[in-house]
Amino acid sequence: MEVIILGTSSAAPTMRRWLSGTAILRDGEVLLFDCGEGTQFRFMKAELPRRKFGKIFITHLHGDHIFGLPGFIATMNLGQRDIPLTVYGPKGIRRYLDFILSFPRPTRLGFELNVEELPPTFEGVVCEENDYVVTAAPLDHTIPALGYRFQEKDLLGRFDGERADALGVPFGPERGALQRGESITLHDGTVIQPSDLVGPPRKGKSVAYITDTGFCVAAKRLAADVDLIIHEATYGDDELEMALDRKHSTIRHAATIARSAGAKKFVATHFSTRYEGSALAQLEAEGRQVFPDLIMAHDLIRIDV
């Protein structure tokens, strides 16, 4: 599983940083979190597969997180997309898309577009597939905002092929049955239990995506024991008052959430345009005081989970 940060700028793009958009690439499937202006260009630049791309999760309705949606949807339509697309987000996302797609005249989509609106205080499962689940929780921003957690379901234990050979387990459906937790009987009457050959279940990988928000306990809950947390770090200590007023996080806030949640990796992103060069280096230094191994995101960075 891999995470690709498509844009790292807060509020407005810069010559070096585009707006919010983060992709999770897993077994060829792409899940997109936020879709700021220009996200489709970064999506193509990252060479992400568009055929197995069917879900977009929007945190909130500020422009730097949603203005890329109309263009992205229009491009998919022009590309003769024929598989469904589902957009999840706070209440109001349906009205926004309905208006955009009806102006100046209704756009006729060649694919099914589903919009799932979530209440401002929603906390729980957003969507669930056979092998993963996405949950959400309300954050603390100037408008309703959601954080998300992608969680793989536990994986099957490792199969001991060498021991299976020694016990005479043939290749074929018998080995598949054992991996599914079913016992089998060999031709000589020997009963093989799954525990004889299959190790304990392996915990699935997880990613928390948290932006925009002030310092809040919901972020910590979403990121509990997560493999990777992506957390906004809009300001440094020099702009603490502005962060509190605008309900954003400083990098110290973000690092504190990552550390207290027990996250294995922490990626800081969503930097104010005022931080470039030495100012960005100072931002990084402040974060490392709390979470020494933090990763400072840059556009198109790829991170293994």
Q: With CA atoms as reference, report the closest residue to 16 among 280, 244, 242, 237.
A: 280
How is the chain split into domains, by residue range? 2-155+204-304, 161-197
Is 104 a residue whose pLDDT tops 90? no
CA distance 101 to 111: 13
pTM of the model: 0.90
Band of the pLDDT at 200, cuts 50, 70, 90? confident
Band of the pLDDT at 157, cuts 50, 70, 90? confident
CB 238 within 8 A of CB 279: no
- Asked about 225 being catalytic, the answer comes back as no
Q: Provide φ and ψ at 209, rounded to 5°.
A: -120, 115
Strand duo 85-90 + 113-118: pairing: parallel
Q: Which of 34, 64, 227, 299 is catalytic?
A: 64
pLDDT per residue as tens digits for the range 240-289: 999 999 999 999 999 999 999 999 999 999 999 999 999 999 999 999 99
Burial class (CB in 10 A: 0-12, 13-18, 19+), 67: middle
* pLDDT category of residue 106 using cuts at 50, 70 and 90: confident
Taking residues 18-23, report their average pLDDT: 98
**pLDDT score of 142:** 97
pLDDT digits (tens, 9 = 90+) for 28-42: 999 999 999 999 999
Question: What is the band of 158 on the pLDDT scale with cuts at 50, 70, 90?
Answer: confident
Residue type, 28: G
Phi and psi torsions of 159, nearest 5°: -90, 130
Q: Which helix (H) or strand (E) holds 88?
A: strand 85-90
With tokens 């959601």, the residue in question is 146
246 to each of 90, 107, 188, 239, how far by Cα in Å?
19, 36, 72, 11
300 closest CA partner among 37, 58, 69, 17: 17
CA atoms of 119 and 145, how far apart (whole Å): 10
Class of domain 2-155+204-304: alpha beta
> Both ends of the chain: CA-CA distance in Å?
6
> Residue 107: what pLDDT?
84
Residue-wise pLDDT tens digits, 143-152: 999 999 999 9
Beta bridge partners of 29: 26
Positive or negative, the CA dihedral 46, 72, 297, 155 is: negative
Highest mean pLDDT among 14-23, 45-54, 187-196: 14-23
